[in-house]
Structure 1
Amino acid sequence: MAKKAKKIVRREYTTSDVKELRAHSKAKTPVARIAKLTKRSEGSLRQKALKLGISLGHMR
C-alpha cells in the first residue's frame, strides 16, 4: 500500500510569534534552532523575516 502524503497545514503568524522571531533575530539564534522551537520550516521563517525586514541565519 502506498504511503499517504503529509497534508500541509498553514498557520498564520500571531503577534507573539513575530515578537519571538524578532527576539531570536536579536539574539542571533541559528535558523535551525528557531525552526525546531517554533515548529515551522526554515523557509517559512526566512520568508517572514524578509517581509519584516529583519535578518536571520547567523552562523558563527
Structure 2
Amino acid sequence: MQQLRGLARGNTPVGVMSVKLGRSEDSIRSKAQSEGVSLSPPNRSPYGDVS
C-alpha cells in the first residue's frame, strides 16, 4: 500500500504502476478505490505555471 500511495502521489500512470507493482491495472484500480487512494491526476498543468 505504501508503494501504491507513493506512486499515486507522484502522478504515475496506472500502466506504469502495474509493471512496478507486478499487478494488473484492474487490481490496482480496485485496491486504490477500496483504500480511498485517488489515481486521478491533480488539476495542474503538465507544463508548470504558464501565467
| TM-score relative to the length of structure 2 | 0.74
Which 4+ runs in 1 deviate beyond 4 A? none
Cα distance between partner residues in 2 of 1:20 and 1:41? 15
Find out whether 1:44 has 2:27 as its counterpart. yes
User: Whose radius of gyration is greater, 1 or 2?
Assistant: 1
Percentage identity across aligned positions?
Answer: 36
Ranges in structure 2 where 5+ consecutive residues have no aligned partner: 47-51
CA RMSD after TM alignment: 1.4
Aligned residue pair count: 42
Ranges in structure 1 where 5+ consecutive residues have no aligned partner: 1-17
